[in-house]
Structure 1
Amino acid sequence: MIVLGIETSCDETGVALYNSAPWENNAPAHQGIMGQALHTQIAMHRDYGGVVPELASRDHIRRVLPLLDEALLAAQLELSDIDAVAYTQGPGLAGALLVGSAFAKSLAQGLKLPSIGIHHLEGHLLSPLLGISAPQFPFIALLVSGGHTQLMLVSGVGKYQLLGETLDDAAGEAFDKTAKLLGLDYPGGAALSKLAETGQLGRFDLPKPMLHSGDLDFSFSGLKTAVLNQVNKFLSTGVSDTQEIARFHADIARCFVDSLVAVLVSKSEKALKQTGCKHLVLAGGVGANVQLRTALNASAKKHGFEAHYPPVDLCTDNGVMIAFAGALRMLADNNGSTTSGAFDVKPRWDLASNNLI
């Protein structure tokens, strides 16, 4: 079964084709990736310091059809070779989601194919199955994507239990807001992580929010505020030496990243212990963070669990994860495929409510 996947939840337009045959035959899942194309809107939104929903929606309209042609060419396929169409139904920006839904369902109706709406986070948490070292069910998923930071128990496709989530700012939001405080360009998460590599360990005593809360929830707004206080304190000294300013930025970035990573790793260890799982999956945009991967690898070695990651190019939003999740849903025999003409989207959508019975 060849599934076309379309992702338009925010500021990336992703189109991909996935063949489910390897998965069905117990071969490595990544062998089913046939072709993909992706366009990011980062350059367009940078001048505004964040995503502008109306601009994002318009750009998806311009990009999706040429990207489909590009993905088909890469896969050496025709539209007639497709068996089903999967699209991101939510959560995300309503206008952006409507572009993908309208395009996917119109295409599916025209080709007389089933279409299936996919939860954006389900695409992320299943994407490590496409890695060289794929996890086994059940596993713990640490989802750190955009406005989401969650710990999930994944017992199988469509079998998800929320163990903990952020109560305010997600990890990705804290990264971007802190980067903005330090004058880094949007999106600042990757730049902040890079800057932290040159910083001094422990110069600033930043909080590790909810580290000892006893539950698996997160909170990062206080960490961001602590950085703001340190920035204001530094500015009040009137320092003008560029090297000293650069050292301050690198050191505060290092301490911020260390604090955030310490919380994510500690909560993940606790989730593994509570559930008895031996596999941990890191998924989502922050899943590409070098410091977090290094810390999780060290923890895995110390505590005897296995850490799994999606390929780096599949950490950010992409069509492959949607096509893959669509294929697995279709194979689950309770696929929720839609046949109506409605362009239905769910900008706010609880992943656990999407479980298969």
Structure 2
Amino acid sequence: MKVLGIETSCDETGVAVYDTEAGLLSHRLHSQIELHAEYGGVVPELASRDHIRRLPLLIRQTLASAALEVGDIDGVAYTAGPGLAGALLVGASVAESFGLAADIPVLPVHHLEGHLLSPLLSADPPAFPFIALLVSGGHTQLMRVAGVGDYTLLGESLDDAAGEAFDKTAKLLGLGYPGGPQLARLAEQGQAGRFRLPRPMLHSHDLDFSFSGLKTAVLNVVSSEAWQPRDAADLAADFQQAVVEVLCAKALAAMKAAGLKTLVVAGGVGANRALRLQLDAATAKRGWRVHYPEPELCTDNGAMIAFAGGLRFAAGERPAQVPAVRVKPRWPLMELRPPQVA
């Protein structure tokens, strides 16, 4: 079954075709970084309008790259949430229109399920069950994954997610948009150890996270009379080290508590080099395995949506009989269930 995937949850327009037998056939991605950079963050209305402009061309390019015609597609999957309401509506409208015109089924997909399952697209995919550390811009969660839609939440951020803390700290250091990747690059130029930053909830004896206090600690440093802009790289290194230390400790604790030896890391922060190095070393020491998405699939993309939809289609799930544009800007991952066979 060939599934067209459409991702428009925020500031990236992604389109892909996934074949449930042959794998990922093609994918295209357009980033809106330049569009939003002058505003220092995502402007929802501009994001929605850009999705409208980009989607038709990206769909044509993706199909052409896979040597497919519209009639070769068997189903459509689109991001229904969570995300920006206007941006989600663009993708949903295009997906439902495509499905209606081609007379094929259309499935709404949870954005975070796409991230969560994206490591299964790699050449060496993990097997169920596993522990997942989901670290994206707005979410930091640990969960036990027993199968598609079979998720048990073990812990999550009680305030700022790790990605949000990266972005907000980047602003405090005067870095541009997108802040998280820029802070990570700056941290590689610095030397950790100069600033005594907290490790929030490191010894809380649970699997929850809190990064708001860490961000406030950075604010106190840059607001002090002793602060010098030349120290920014060292402070970035200390901040990143604190976040990575907490993420690693909690992930390892979750694996030990669950009695599992496989860890999956997904979401944009999962591309962070320092996080990968520390997790690789820690899991190798214990004889465990850690899996990541391919680097190009760490950010929002259509491939993960086509793949998640493809898994549900393959399991027999089908949409409601009456086509409807369905989006959920706020959609807890724990509301998902295993594929519902029609």
What SS does structure 2 have at the residue aligned with 1:339? coil
**Unaligned 5+ residue runs, structure 1?**
23-31, 240-244
Cα distance in 1 for residues equivalent to 2:127 and 2:13: 30
Give 2:285's aligned residue: 302
Deviation at 1:194, TM superposition (A): 1.1
Cα distance in 2 for residues equivalent to 1:110 and 1:199: 55
What SS does structure 1 have at the residue aligned with 2:191? coil
| 8 Å Cα contact 1:115/1:339 also seen in 2 | no
Assess, with a 3 A threshold, how the Cα gap between structure 1 residues 342 and 183 changes in structure 2: closer, same or farther.
Answer: same
- Kindly report which structure 2 residues correspond to 1:164-313, keeping only aligned pairs within 5 A, or say none: 164-233=155-224, 236-237=225-226, 245-246=229-230, 248-313=231-296
Cα distance in 2 for residues equivalent to 1:41 and 1:173: 18
Q: Select which of 27, 47, 50 maps to 2:38.
A: 47
1:257-298 Cα distance to aligned partner (Å, 9 max, x none): 000000000000011011111110010001110000001001
1:136 aligns with 2:118: no
The two structures, once aligned, show a CA RMSD in angstroms of: 1.1
Question: Which residue identity is paired with 1:8?
Answer: T
Give 1:323's aligned residue: 306
Assess, with a 3 A threshold, how the Cα gap between structure 1 residues 98 and 237 changes in structure 2: closer, same or farther.
Answer: same
Give 1:77's aligned residue: 68
Give 2:5's aligned residue: 5
1:166-191 Cα distance to aligned partner (Å, 9 max, x none): 11100100001111111111111111
What SS does structure 2 have at the residue aligned with 1:348? coil
Cα distance in 2 for residues equivalent to 1:139 and 1:341: 35
Assess, with a 3 A threshold, how the Cα gap between structure 1 residues 249 and 110 changes in structure 2: closer, same or farther.
Answer: same
Deviation at 1:238, TM superposition (A): 7.4
Cα distance in 2 for residues equivalent to 1:201 and 1:317: 30
| 8 Å Cα contact 2:192/2:235 also seen in 1 | no
| 8 Å Cα contact 2:105/2:318 also seen in 1 | no
What SS does structure 2 have at the residue aligned with 1:271? helix
Deviating 4+ runs (over 4 angstroms): none
Cα distance in 1 for residues equivalent to 2:190 and 2:89: 43
TM-score (structure 2 length as normaliser): 0.97
Deviation at 1:339, TM superposition (A): 3.4
Cα distance in 2 for residues equivalent to 1:68 and 1:254: 40
Deviation at 1:237, TM superposition (A): 3.8
Give 2:332's aligned residue: 350
Cα distance in 1 for residues equivalent to 2:322 and 2:51: 23
| 8 Å Cα contact 1:4/1:18 also seen in 2 | yes
What SS does structure 1 have at the residue aligned with 2:42? coil
The aligned length equals 339
Deviation at 1:321, TM superposition (A): 0.3
What SS does structure 2 have at the residue aligned with 1:201? coil
Question: Which residue identity is paired with 2:251?
Answer: S
1:341 aligns with 2:332: no
Moved more, 305-314 or 343-352: 343-352
1:197-222 Cα distance to aligned partner (Å, 9 max, x none): 12122111100101011111111000
Cα distance in 2 for residues equivalent to 1:61 and 1:201: 44
Question: Which residue identity is paired with 1:315?
Answer: C
| 8 Å Cα contact 1:17/1:33 also seen in 2 | yes
State the identity %. Answer: 61
1:289-334 Cα distance to aligned partner (Å, 9 max, x none): 000000100111122210001000000000000000000011122x
| 8 Å Cα contact 1:265/1:296 also seen in 2 | yes
1:116 aligns with 2:107: yes
Assess, with a 3 A threshold, how the Cα gap between structure 1 residues 214 and 237 changes in structure 2: closer, same or farther.
Answer: closer
| 8 Å Cα contact 2:221/2:227 also seen in 1 | no
Cα distance in 2 for residues equivalent to 1:150 and 1:273: 16
| 8 Å Cα contact 2:137/2:163 also seen in 1 | yes
TM-score (structure 1 length as normaliser): 0.93
Cα distance in 1 for residues equivalent to 2:249 and 2:90: 39
Cα distance in 1 for residues equivalent to 2:42 and 2:273: 25
**Unaligned 5+ residue runs, structure 2?**
none
